[in-house]
Amino acid sequence: MERLQKILANAGVASRRKCEELIREGKVAVNDKVVTELGAKADPYQDVITVSGRPIRREQKLYLLFHKPKGVITTMDDPKGRSTVRDYLKGIKERVYPVGRLDYDSEGLLLLTNDGDLAHKLTHPKHHVPKTYLATVERVPHGNDLEKLKKGIKLEDGMTAPAEAEYHDVDPDGKFATISITIREGRNRQVRRMFDAIHHPVTRLKRISFGGITLGGLQRGKYRKLNAEEIRKLRDAAEGIVDDASAEDSHDEAE
């Protein structure tokens, strides 16, 4: 749900201030009901919104897969002038927003969409949508350390849910290891904090899968539109439907 004047402005009706005037003048209706209050909200994808009896342009839903580089902010704007994901979305006219976050020092798969309902479901903890990362850490964790990750780690904001963790690459000299880890939560910097808790700080973190969608060979800093099958996978993941083939694809990507 968004403020009506914002929906009108984003649809190209007029400036935000002019759209407010149209609302006050009784020229805007939502589902055939005239709205004159500036605080009124509507769903731009579900409600029928008209101005002087004419429906506004309905924004098409868009689903993007972006390979976020390290050192890019997962927002559309940054007051400090740092590089944001918007800087990489040249040619995209629709308003899209990141689904969840990847922190400044992390890289990899980031979904963006203007489908607010799907984005909410994908990021809500109760839906347990899997996200897989390759975490390169200092030194090589012992097997019992990985077992701690699998059972759940106690953090300052509570116990984590059980994770899936396995060795992906191990330095023969024992200086580092890369661990494939899958979590079904979305706490702030969760993977980094989990490895801090077992005393193996993360030096590089890359997300390779989200809800059955894999990064594949997409180059760093590039994006592409999701196809119909990938959108179906995301919707299934948001509803808790497990796709065994997707799980296998994620494992192959980690290898």
pLDDT digits 0-9 by tens, 86-126: 999 988 888 889 999 999 999 999 999 988 889 989 998 88
pLDDT at 36: 94
pLDDT at 253: 47
Residues 174 and 188 in one domain: yes
Q: Which domain holds residue 254?
A: 60-255
pLDDT at 254: 43
Residues 50 and 65 in one domain: no
Adjacent-strand bridge partners of 202: 137
Distance of CA 116 to the CA centre of its chain: 11
Q: Dump pLDDT digits (tens) for 30-56.
A: 999 999 999 899 988 788 999 999 998
Residues 119 and 236 in one domain: yes
Residues 209 and 249 in one domain: yes
CB 69 within 8 A of CB 221: yes
pTM above 0.85, yes or no: no
Dihedral angle at the C-alpha atoms of 114, 240, 189, 176, nearest 10 degrees? -120
Q: What is the CATH number of the domain that holds 46?
A: 3.10.290.10
Rounded distance, CA 183 to CA 28, Å?
A: 45
Phi/psi of residue 180, nearest 5 degrees: -85, 120
Look up 103 and say whether it is catalytic. yes
> Can you point out the beta strands (E) in 45-130?
49-51, 54-55, 63-68, 97-98, 107-113
Residues 212 and 116 in one domain: yes
Residues 82 and 99 in one domain: yes
The one catalytic residue in 103, 117, 236, 249 is 103
Rounded distance, CA 242 to CA 129, Å?
A: 9
